[in-house]
A and B are shown apart, each in its own frame.
Chain A
């Protein structure tokens, strides 16, 4: 059981009548020789670490290595607790959780790279918050993570998920695509809708550059993770409402890769362009490295 792209994945589902999660698990069984239980247990560990990271940021005061972030999850929580929010409860919780996991990451806490450390807030932020809202079982959450993984595998194979290679569109865009697909699938979307959600999330941030201040995974990364969580939610909402992606998922992945390739190196994680190269960004950089 294997798939090179979204089209093959969808065909697999149609031919076998199996879900994307099941196909991803069976592929992993072929690859590792492990049992389904072992593979699910491994994903369960990832899920537990994601959950712990979300909770930790709400409980503890975390100090990031570069000092550019800290306390954002708790600020958003306080605002949510105090009264009406602009975003509504689910969205507010999702962006808070995404930012919180980035606080844990930036303070040398334990996270799950999903797909990268720089985008580690997006899946926990959007997918786990939605799971809570809808009361998914642990097995449903784990299935959703395998769906996210299937999308991540395809993007890694056919393009890139690294900011250094393809800009932030590749990193936080891929995380959002993975999360959107997981959410749609768990909420009963078809394989096509699942791929549409992933395509939409990637399209929404196409061209986004990677410009971390002082080269650290803090700013603008943390807010881009909040954006990624929101992107996952709106992309899932659209797909579940039956709004398709005009450009099919595989073509979007290809386009994203080509856009990434054409980005100058200054805008791919080198901290030589974008926000990293503003007067303030440069001042922060020299303060940190003086």
Chain B
């Protein structure tokens, strides 16, 4: 119980009705919004398992769209997310799907497109009590929760790249809690995911991106 706060028990303050189907959904989409990194023009949600079955009754659809709009789990505008998205000209769709047995019963796959035509795929699981896990990014299995300051780097799978990333992080004095590398089975790219207890500065990110021959993208995601 060392890390359990009394505010995990009395709290969070949230828009109902369900911590897993509503609050968790908001948080997954908030991560998706940050990963998409730009003005979002459209988003397709593919709902799996219990999400597919009960999304309307739990307002999972509004919650997901609310997260895409940048609303926090306690933002009352979530109820009006459809209207707000329409006003902003964001198009959206919800389709039940079956992602297979490998995924948690409360899972959503999001295809997010920005105004400059970039598309990101994010799969997230709502694992209970509003906690989430991002388990896939653009076809690559990954794992992070968003509870930490999380640096996501898409890199070329060549020697020297991990050293470059760790050097940049170390030179900024950032204390790394976890670091993992995920690589495609056969492919040119890999993801490095670094989780830190403290904020990861823009300058660290810029330093990493300064070697475009190694790095395709780098961005920081956090639900804190």
- Cβ contact of B4, chosen from A46, A157, A214, A216, cutoff 8 A: A157
Main secondary structure of the interface of A (DSSP, over half): helix
- One of A145-153, A202-210, A254-262 contacting the partner: A145-153
Smallest distance from the beta carbon of B54 to chain A beta carbons, Å?
5
Is the CB–CB distance between A42 and B58 below 8 Å? Answer: no
CA distance A106 to B56 in the complex (A): 12
Contact status A4-B1, CB under 8 Å: yes
Q: Is the CB of A156 within 8 A of B6?
A: no
Query: Is residue B79 within 8 Å, beta carbon to beta carbon, of the partner chain?
Result: yes
Name B58's contact: one of A65, A112, A150 (CB within 8 Å): A65
* B residues at A contact (CB < 8 Å): 1-19, 22-23, 50, 53-54, 56-59, 62, 74, 76, 78-79, 128-130
A146, closest chain B residue (CB)? B6
Partner of A117, one of B6, B9, B18, B79: B18
Q: How far in angstroms is the closest Cβ of chain A from B58? A: 7
**0 or 1 for each of A79-114: is its CB under 8 Å from B? (1 = yes):** 000000000000000000000000011111111111
Beta-carbon contact of B6 and A111 below 8 Å = no
Contact at B11–A216, with CB atoms within 8 Å?
no
Out of A4, A45, A216, name the residue touching B54 (CB < 8 Å).
Answer: A216
Q: Does A197 contact B (CB under 8 A)?
A: no
Q: Is A115 an interface residue (CB 8 A)?
A: yes
Distance of A73 Cα from B130 Cα, bound (Å): 27
Contact partners of A214 in chain B: CB under 8 A: 54, 57
Could you tell me the distance between the alpha carbons of A4 and B1 in the complex, rounded to whole angstroms?
Answer: 7
Contact A109 B1 (CB under 8 A): no
* Chain A residue contacts of B58, Cβ below 8 A: 65, 215-217
Does A108 lie within 8 Å of B4, measured CB to CB?
A: no
Tell yes or no: A2 within 8 A of B by CB. yes
Distance in Å: Cβ of B63 to nearest Cβ of chain A: 8
In the bound complex, how far is the Cα of B129 from the Cα of A164, in angstroms? 11
Could you tell me which residues of chain A, from 179 to 214, have a CB within 8 Å of some CB in chain B? 214
Question: Which of A104, A109, A120, A288 touches B56 (beta carbons < 8 Å)?
Answer: A288
Q: Say yes or no: A215 contacts B50, CB within 8 Å.
A: yes
Asked, given contacts A65-B56, A107-B16, whether A112 binds B4 with beta carbons under 8 Å apart, the answer is: no
A6 within 8 A of B: no
Using A4-B1, A28-B7, A149-B9 as known contacts, list a sample of 7 further A-B pairs with CB atoms less than 8 Å apart, ordered by residue number in A: A43-B10, A46-B10, A108-B22, A120-B16, A153-B6, A161-B9, A217-B16
Given contacts A214-B54, A215-B54, contact A152 B9 (CB under 8 A): yes
Whether A46 lies near B13 (C-beta < 8 A) is: yes
Residue of B nearest to A43 (CB): B10
A114: B residues at CB distance < 8 A: 9-11
A216:B9 contact, CB within 8 angstroms: no
Q: Is A66's beta carbon under 8 Å from chain B? A: yes
B residues in contact with A113, CB < 8 Å: 11-14, 19, 23, 129-130
Q: How far is the CB of A249 from chain B (nearest CB, A)?
A: 16
Q: Are A110 and B15 in contact (CB under 8 A)?
A: yes
* Also in contact, A156 and B128, with CB within 8 A (given A108-B79, A110-B14): no
Q: Is A230 an interface residue (CB 8 A)?
A: no
Query: How far apart are A257's CB and chain B's nearest CB, in angstroms?
Result: 15
10 A-B pairs with CB atoms under 8 Å apart are: A45-B13, A108-B16, A108-B17, A114-B9, A117-B16, A117-B17, A156-B4, A156-B9, A217-B16, A217-B58
Q: Tell me which residues across on chain A come within 8 A of B15, comparing CB atoms.
A: 108-111
CA distance A118 to B58 in the complex (A): 12
Closest chain-A Cβ to B92's Cβ sits at a distance in Å of 17
Which residues A236-267 have CB closer than 8 A to chain B?
Answer: none
Contact B59 A65 (CB under 8 A): yes
Taking a contact as CB atoms under 8 Å apart, the answer to whether B23 and A117 are in contact is yes
User: Is A153 within 8 A of B13, CB to CB?
Assistant: no
When chains A and B are docked, how far (Å) is the Cα of A150 from the Cα of B18?
23
- Please give the distance in Å from B154's CB to the nearest CB on chain A: 34
A176 an interface residue at 8 Å Cβ cutoff? no
Question: Which residues 140-186 in A have Cβ within 8 Å of B in the complex?
Answer: 145-146, 148-150, 152-154, 156-157, 161-162, 164, 178
Residue of B nearest to A103 (CB): B16
